[in-house]
Every structure is written in structure tokens, then in C-alpha cells.
């Protein structure tokens, strides 16, 4: 286990205060922090559209252009299933019943990702050590190509990362399906946490990867009247669409102007306590946009998600006002971009600063 520690929670009243307010909100309105009827509608909607698109592609005789359009939509809805259903299920926030959450978390396999590994990488490592270089592996996107942390040396090619980062994000899904899960599973540790995998997870990894390859590679090749290169174009379109959708949403929550990338002190401690650390390293975007909230599974309100990961995302809009008010009460930051495009521009500026500008500053310093 990593030695990194946060300051004792007792040194700040912020989190006990905001947690009490949020708990009281649910009690006073007599509602569960888990899924409500709106959430179950979303489950049916996204899963239904995903299955419909897949079946239309596999069983119909549309021309290649219609098939390509359906495949792009399937890629988008693959990401939406991850955002809206699997993410909550893996956090145990979808239902109060752990078996229900476990069942829905297995849908993650249908989009090519392993829910067990995601739980370790995301729930345990990322949510604990958010934006801490060397600990949060979400900061490691494409080593040597994309520089997100100031701790990483800047190189010549990264002068242009603000231009090529977005196409690279679109390859995230392909990497996840064919490389990332295998690599993470057989590492000696994830982040700074050593893991001994249960034997059943070895079976799950290979069985469900094989099932995914059968459903999305073997079966289409057997059933569709396509050449190999037409299939390849469709397969790439699916994953590029899904990868870009996922990559942008996750980056806009932590790698924007105003968020911190703190370093541990000499004793291996982070100066803030955990909850205040989440406020300084996490950002919301388009919080008031109901369409964004519907399709992104509340991931546009990452502040609320990081503070209350066991609360279903359909409640973030209501508790967001409580969190924001309490943060201001304690003179703590509450970082947010009004729209998706504001957040996108902010991320672009961060990439430019950490690449082009810092490379230029490095050369100026060297020449003095």
C-alpha cells in the first residue's frame, strides 16, 4: 500500500458539514440516494438503444453508409452505457442491493472493458489520489506524447500536443479493448497499490474479452456481407467515436485551468485533507445543462461525484447546490466551466501551456 497520506479529516469541518447537509437533504425529502424512476428509465433507454443498434447492424441489410452511421451511434451509446449505467453500478450507487450493482457492472464487458480492473483503477486509485503525479494513473495518457503533469519532463514533440491530443484520445477505446486491461492486470501494482487478484478474475478477464471479440469481430464478419476492409472501417469508427467521447469527458473533469496537481511533501503527505483535495483537483462543466447530465451520467458534475461516489448521479443537480454553497462557506474553491465548450477550451489551453509554453521556457532557461 502507498505511504501517501492526507491531513487528518478532523482538521477541517468542511466534509462533515457538507455530508450532514446532503444526508439531511435525502432524509427531509424521504428519498433514496440510489436510483429513482428517472434513473431506471435511463437504464432502459441506453441499454435498449445499444441493443437495438447492435441488432440492426448484425441482422439487417442496410447499405454500407447506413451501417457506418449506425456503427458510429453504437460507439456513442457504448460510451453512454459506461457513463450512465456501469459507472454507477461499479460505485455501488445504482442500487442498495450489491447483487444488482454487480449484475449491471457486468455490462461493462459489453463495451470491451473489465469492471473489476476499472474498480481498482478508478474507485480505489483515481478517487483517492486524484491528480497526484505518480499516484493517479489517469494522468498517464500517452507517455512521451501527452504531458499532463508538470512532474514529467517536457520534450520537443509535446510542443504540438494541443493539436494532436484529441485524435489520440479517440484511440483510448481500442487500447482498452486490446491492451490496457491485460497490461494493468499483470502489473505488480496499480498506481502505488499492490493487488493480488482472485482466481475467478483471471477467468473473467479472458472469458469476457473473448465474448467481446466474438460479438464485435467474429459475428459481424460471419453475418455481414462486407469486405474485410469495410468491416475494419466500421470497427475503427465504433472505437474512435467511443474513445473520443470517453476521453474528452474524463479529461474535462480534472485537466482544466484552475485544478491542482499537488505533490506530496517530504514526509509523503498531501497538505489538504481528502475532501478539500477533491475540490482543488476536480472541476464541473455544464452543470445546469439537463441534456449533458442525461447523456454523460452526471460526469459533468465530477465534484459531487468525487465527494459522494455512493450517490446515484441523478441526484447530483440537487446536491450540487448544497456542495457549492458549503464550499464557499469554508472559502474553498468550487471549480466549474459554464459550458462543455468552455471546458474544452480550458483543456486545450492547459495542453498548450504544459507543452509548447513550457518547452519554450525550458529552452530559454537552458540558453541563459
**DSSP secondary structure string for all residues of 136-200:** -GGG-SSTTT----TTSPP-GGGGGHHHHHHHHHTTHHHHIIIIIHHHHHTSSEETTEE----HH
Nearest to 35 by CA among 85, 77, 80: 85
The residue with cell 519532463 is 153
Burial of 365 (0-12, 13-18, 19+ CB in 10 A): exposed
Sequence-separated (6 or more) residues with CB below 8 Å from residue 73: 53
Q: What is the pLDDT of residue 134?
A: 81
Q: What is the pLDDT of residue 144?
A: 87
Q: How many CB atoms lie within 10 A of CB 13?
A: 13
Assess contact for 290 and 266: CB atoms under 8 A.
no
The residue with cell 466474438 is 214
Q: What is the pTM of this model?
A: 0.92
286: which 3 cell numbers?
A: 455544464
Helix (H) or strand (E) holding 335: strand 335-337
Nearest to 4 by CA among 157, 193, 153: 193
Provide the domain limits for residue 99.
5-367
Cα angle 165, 169, 174; round to 5: 140
- C-alpha count within 13 angstroms, C-beta hemisphere, residue 121: 18
Q: What SS3 class is residue 106?
A: helix
Assess contact for 318 and 265: CB atoms under 8 A.
no
Q: What is the pLDDT of residue 2?
A: 46
Question: What domain count does the chain have?
Answer: 1
CA 220 to chain centre: 28
Sequence-separated (6 or more) residues with CB below 8 Å from residue 26: 32, 33, 315
Assess contact for 293 and 340: CB atoms under 8 A.
no
| Integer CA distances (angstroms), 347 to 74, 126, 173, 247, 257, in order | 26, 19, 20, 12, 7
The dihedral through the CA atoms of 222, 226, 228, 230 has a sign that is negative
Per residue of the chain (368 residues), what is the pLDDT tens digit? 446 777 765 578 999 999 999 999 999 999 999 999 999 999 999 999 999 999 999 997 889 899 999 999 999 999 999 999 999 999 999 999 999 999 999 999 999 999 999 999 999 999 989 999 888 888 888 888 999 888 888 999 999 999 999 999 999 999 999 999 999 999 988 877 888 999 999 999 999 999 999 999 999 999 998 899 999 999 999 999 999 999 889 899 999 999 999 888 777 788 788 999 999 999 999 998 999 999 999 999 999 999 999 999 999 999 999 999 999 999 999 999 999 999 999 999 999 999 998 888 877 765 54
| Integer CA distances (angstroms), 7 to 12, 204, 262, 271, in order | 9, 38, 13, 6
Question: Residue 269: what are its φ and ψ, rounded to 5°?
Answer: -110, 150
What span, in angstroms and rounded, lies between the C-alpha atoms of 13 and 262?
A: 21
Amino acid at each position: 500500500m502507498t505511504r501517501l497520506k492526507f491531513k487528518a479529516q478532523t482538521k477541517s469541518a468542511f466534509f462533515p458539514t457538507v455530508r450532514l447537509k446532503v444526508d439531511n437533504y435525502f432524509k427531509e425529502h424521504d428519498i433514496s440516494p440510489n436510483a429513482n424512476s428517472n434513473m431506471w428509465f435511463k437504464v432502459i433507454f441506453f441499454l435498449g438503444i445499444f441493443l437495438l443498434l447492435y441488432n440492426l447492424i448484425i441482422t439487417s441489410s442496410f447499405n454500407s453508409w447506413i451501417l457506418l452511421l449506425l456503427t458510429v451511434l453504437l460507439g456513442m451509446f457504448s460510451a453512454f452505457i459506461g457513463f450512465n449505467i456501469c459507472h454507477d453500478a461499479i460505485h455501488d450507487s445504482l442500487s442498495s442491493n450489491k447483487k444488482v450493482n454487480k449484475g449491471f457492472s457486468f455490462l461493462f464487458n459489453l463495451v470491451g472493458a473489465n469492471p473489476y480492473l476499472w474498480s481498482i483503477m478508478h474507485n480505489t486509485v483515481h478517487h483517492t489520489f486524484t491528480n497526484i503525479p505518480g499516484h493517479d494513473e489517469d494522468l498517464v495518457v500517452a507517455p512521451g506524447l501527452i504531458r499532463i503533469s508538470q512532474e514529467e519532463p517536457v520534450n520537443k514533440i509535446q510542443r504540438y500536443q494541443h493539436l494532436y491530443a484529441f485524435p489520440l484520445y479517440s484511440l483510448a477505446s481500442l487500447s482498452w479493448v486490446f491492451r490496457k486491461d491485460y497490461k494493468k492486470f499483470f502489473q505488480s501494482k496499480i498506481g502505488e497499490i499492490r493487488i493480488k487478484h482472485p482466481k475467478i478474475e483471471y477467468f473473467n478477464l479472458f472469458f469476457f474479452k473473448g465474448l467481446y471479440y466474438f460479438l464485435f469481430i467474429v459475428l459481424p464478419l460471419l453475418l455481414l456481407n462486407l469486405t474485410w476492409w469495410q468491416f475494419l472501417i466500421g470497427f475503427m469508427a465504433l472505437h474512435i467515436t467511443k474513445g473520443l467521447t470517453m476521453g474528452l469527458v474524463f479529461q474535462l473533469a480534472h485537466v482544466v485551468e484552475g485544478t491542482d496537481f499537488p505533490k506530496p511533501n517530504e514526509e509523503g503527505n498531501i497538505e489538504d485533507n481528502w475532501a478539500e483535495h477533491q475540490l482543488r483537483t476536480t472541476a464541473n462543466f455544464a452543470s445546469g445543462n439537463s441534456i449533458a447530465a442525461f447523456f454523460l451520467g452526471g460526469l459533468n458534475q465530477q465534484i459531487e461525484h468525487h465527494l459522494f461516489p455512493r450517490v446515484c448521479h441523478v441526484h447530483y443537480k440537487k446536491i450540487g447546490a448544497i456542495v457549492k454553497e458549503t464550499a464557499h462557506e469554508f472559502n474553498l474553491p468550487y471549480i466549474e466551466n459554464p459550458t462543455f465548450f468552455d471546458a474544452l477550451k480550458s483543456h486545450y489551453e492547459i495542453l498548450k501551456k504544459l507543452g509548447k509554453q513550457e518547452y519554450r521556457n525550458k529552452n530559454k532557461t537552458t540558453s541563459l
